[in-house]
A and B are shown apart, each in its own frame.
Chain A
Amino acid sequence: MKMTAIVTIRIQEEDFDTAREIAQLSKGRTDIGAVVSFSGICRGSEHGDVIGALTLEHYPGMAEAEIARHANEAMVRWPLNGLTIIHRTGRITPGENIVLVVTASSHRQAAFQAAEFLMDYLKTSAPFWKREEREGGGNWVEARAHDDEAARRWTKS
């Protein structure tokens, strides 16, 4: 029997409980054979400089829409039984969660690939911007070319 795929997308200031989110996705189901989760966590240093905190700004409305577009694409490309994407906004201190992607499928390959695909697109096309607090001021984090390259490899030629 094919069970319904559950897609959860949340953008929130509050922290989330990774273990609880994984359990929510797979609880009571017998069709899921693989769950992959990726957690993005705030680092306390960048190239040797101390980072006091990150502040995440986002574009309300578009952020949800853009994540939903990529979630839908992942559902089409891989046989997923469910996925959860949570992205935090506001001030986040080192050691705290920033983002969570959980994918569930019958087999591991689809779950691994979909999680990586979603993270690559979250980095390059979901409208979020990080500002770092450093000693003596702050600065907007610059986009990295290797993130764009990582996202491009999913483009069908």
Chain B
Amino acid sequence: MSKVLLLVGTKKGAFLVESNDGRRSWTIKGPFCETWPIQHMIADPAERTIYAAGGNAWFGPAVWKTTDLGETWTHSSAGLAYEEGEEPVANAWSLAVGPDGLYAGVEPAGLFKSCDGGETWRHVAGLRAHPSRTQWQPGGGGLILHHIVTRGDDAAQLWVGISSAGVFHSADGGATWEPRNRGTRADYMPEDQRYPEVGQCVHSLVMAPGGSDRLYQQNHCGMYRSDDGGRVWTSIEDGLPSTFGFPAAAHPRDPDTLFLLPLNGDINGRYMPDAKAAVWRTRDAGATWSALRDGLPQQNAYFGVLRQALSTDRLEPAGVYFGTGGGALFASADEGESWSCLAEHLPAISSVETLVID
């Protein structure tokens, strides 16, 4: 029987929420990481290691680590710093495992890599050396690098999402980068400047399974798919209740299936459309969408779900999970068809990821 762990990053620490592959009953452990605000947690399944990225108002940024499923934790930020005189790293915002190391995205936006399991870090300086950096502007959450996409079969390829600078791609392991925002809108710019090279406010960036170059992007201004690694983006927002939302989650096996949580709009409160909660799913790469509501609150749902707070597991059928800004955690064990609430009173949830242990 498999063990399923939800890795839940919150404003007041990390939590591990555990079940078996039936995914009916869950136990909650935490808060870990000395109740530091944790922006993102991931697992390296090969090493059975869980990492948690965050920052504390007093003690600064760090990446926490447990190799015994939460029993004991260590923390490090050795090397997780810019050069003297630069604006210091305030927070660690995102994590990703690549084929040759661990990546961390930070605020102000930049990328770091660890080749020793998070003990020490080095700056992937090529990204901040990009000539567009002077144009990068902080979004509502700050100037944050909140998504990192790696390819298991190609260590040289990296994508990052920065608010609000957009998507950048490296084909050489981070030495050089190019913006990949063509086709994504910046509605907050003057009418004749809405498709700039950089400056788009990406909210979520995920890669479809299957080894193709398909990416999906939830943006502040629309929902997009790219079939060529982000060189060109196509709008797939028709059929959605809003062009605005934060997270997106790919299916573990089907590249045409994607899950979203559109909110009612960027200046309308950023909660569930009509205050009725729904996860939206496409089975055809964004051509059509359906709302999945069974078991989700259908009145007074004035909550939002942030960039990294929607995830799937790799079981069959896939589990889907999301956590709200109000501290509620919802789960589906049937690809979104039905939902249950696992927790109602956690701290504000920043991120949800999964780990399945066979």
The judgment on whether A and B are partners is no
Q: Which residues in B have some Cβ–Cβ distance to A below 8 Å?
A: none
Q: Which residues in A have some Cβ–Cβ distance to B below 8 Å?
A: none
